[in-house]
Amino acid sequence: MRDIVAPESARWQAFTRIFGHNAAAAGYQLLIPPLMEDLGVFTRIGEATDVVTKEMYDFTDKGGRRVALRPEFTAGVCRAYAELRPLTPWKVWYSGSNFRYEKPQRGRYRQFDQVGVEVLGSDDAYVDVEVIALAWDFYRQLGLQQVTLVINSLGEPADRAAYVEALRQHFEAAGTTLSEQSRETLLKNPLRVLDSKRGEDAGSVESAPTISEFWSPEAGEHFATVQSGLTDLGIPFTLNQRLVRGLDYYRRTTFEFQGGTLDSAQNALGGGGRYDGLVESLGGPPTPGIGFSLGVDRTLLACSDEGVFSAPELAVQVFVVDTTGGREAMAITHELRRAGITADRAYDNRSMKAQMKAADRSGAQLAVIVGTDEQTAAAAMIRPMRGGEQFRVERNELVEQLRSQLTGHQ
Ligand code: HAM
């Protein structure tokens, strides 16, 4: 787990703000689900996934309840839907931390943040397109050029089940040529064997049956509509029949956004898909759903690697220097902040030199300087910090004068 400090924290905040703005502009409402749920909510993600079996921060609370810190948002969103029964389509966005007990490395942390959206109550293929487009445009807005969209369909539940069975037979036939890890994975979840990057598995993975052979006509048609919608919107994508994703609840459309700069094990900057059936398994009515989550930590790493979306300017506009004891600076900074001018000051009655150094470090455009002369005359000096003559103004005209001097200030 990490501390996110400035200037990275400012970047982080800007990231979430832009995402939230985009989502709200597309009709999604902010949902703030609890950070912890009944353990049973998360086991619905699928008892065959590492996220549930190995990585969960679960414990017994003081009331003897089995609870867990959320490893992802989707299950909690569906639990909320089952409980609140809102009007559909229910379009929500969220942001916040998740917890998975994984082996930490660059781009993989035990506490990590996601932003994302979910749409519940519609199985319109164009909703899939809308959701994918929202993520795609966001990556574009960040300035990322090396992100690729990979899509697949896992078919209807029955198609998926038949495919899983076919994979089981295929990999069982491969027997001991499979790696030991894959043989273990095969017992729990044959789909995940397709994810294996181990050399000894490559041949069997390559020759494995593909999901499209198992699509029902409806699933095939739904997926064709998704693809034509993406093409209509000019969103490039790659089809990958091996894309199964790590969570078990997916049905039909699945997708992943892969970055170009991170190690292949951590190159998924975000992903999502349909999970028709999840709400039902949480005690709600049958409800289709689709969404995605983008990893904030990882996407920002990709931004750094590509040299885009740098931290926003942290500087204040005005720094107040007061050599008369600090009371003037206290009053002036307060007045400026109320007037909407960002301002900071030095404390502890430091020397003029020390305060000017602090003014410099603050990155302010202007310094306001109050010495004994100015104090007596109810005046203040304004000093442009990046060149130009300083000048004296009446104290009661200070705000107006600063406004007219500040570039970019309305
Ligand atoms: P996920 O693929 O497990 O999907 O996670 C989505 C993204 O979260 C990943 O692509 C990655 O960027 C980030 N992420 C996951 N684990 C870590 C980690 N340990 N450290 C850093 N980043 C990580 C989900 O969570 C689904 N709920 C997505 C979804 C929403 N499907 C439908 N709706």
**CB 267, CB 258: distance < 8 Å:** yes
For residue 265, pLDDT beyond 60? yes
- CB of 295 shorter than 6 A to ligand 1: yes
In whole angstroms, give the CA distance from residue 126 to residue 226: 6
Look at ligand 1, atom 12, and give the residue with the nearest C-alpha. 295
The residue type at 292: F
Measured in Å, residue 272 CA sits from the centre of ligand 1 at 8
Q: Which residue has the CA at smallest separation from atom 3 of ligand 1?
A: 246
Neighbour order of strands in the sheet with 343-345? 343-345, 318-322, 366-370, 379-384, 391-394
- Ligand 1 near 271 CB (within 6 A): yes
Residue 215 has pLDDT above 50, yes or no: yes
Pocket test for ligand 1, best of 73, 293, 296, 300 (most atoms within 8 A of CB): 293
**Which DSSP string do the residues of 21-78 spell out, in sequence order?**
HHHHHTTPEE----SEEEHHHHHTT-TTSHHHHTS--EEE-TTS-EEEE-S-SHHHHH
d(CA 408, CA 410): 6
Distances (CA, A) of 188 to 47, 248, 386: 9, 11, 65
Q: Are 302 and 323 in contact (CB under 8 A)?
A: no
Q: Does position 53 have pLDDT exceeding 90, yes or no? A: no
Strand partners, 293: 116, 271
Contact 230, 132 (CB under 8 A): yes
Question: Per residue in 75-104, pLDDT tens?
Answer: 999 999 999 999 999 999 999 999 999 999
Ligand 1 mean position, distance from CA 253 (Å): 16
Confidence band (pLDDT; 50, 70, 90) for 40? Answer: very high
Please give the distance, rounded to the nearest whole angstrom, from the Cα atom of residue 375 to the centre of ligand 1. 58
Nearest CA to ligand 1 atom 20: 108
Residue 50 pLDDT exceeds 90:
no
Least Cα distance to 370 among 387, 345, 389 occurs for: 345
Does residue 253's CB lie within 6 angstroms of at least one atom of ligand 1? no
Q: What is the mean pLDDT of the chain?
A: 95
* CB of 229 sitting under 6 A from ligand 1: no
Please tell me the residue having the least CA distance from ligand 1 atom 8: 295
pLDDT band at 266; cut points 50, 70, 90: confident
Amino acid of residue 367: A
Atom of ligand 1 nearest to the CA of 299: 12
The confidence score (pLDDT) of residue 410 equals 43
* Dist. CA 295 → ligand 1 center (Å): 6
| 3-state SS class at 383 | strand
- Tell me, yes or no, if the pTM score tops 0.75: yes
**pLDDT higher than 60, residue 409:** no
The response to whether residue 270 sits with its C-beta less than 6 Å from ligand 1 reads yes
Q: Nearest C-alpha to atom 2 of ligand 1 is from which residue?
A: 271
Q: How far is the CA of 101 from the centre of ligand 1 (A)?
A: 13
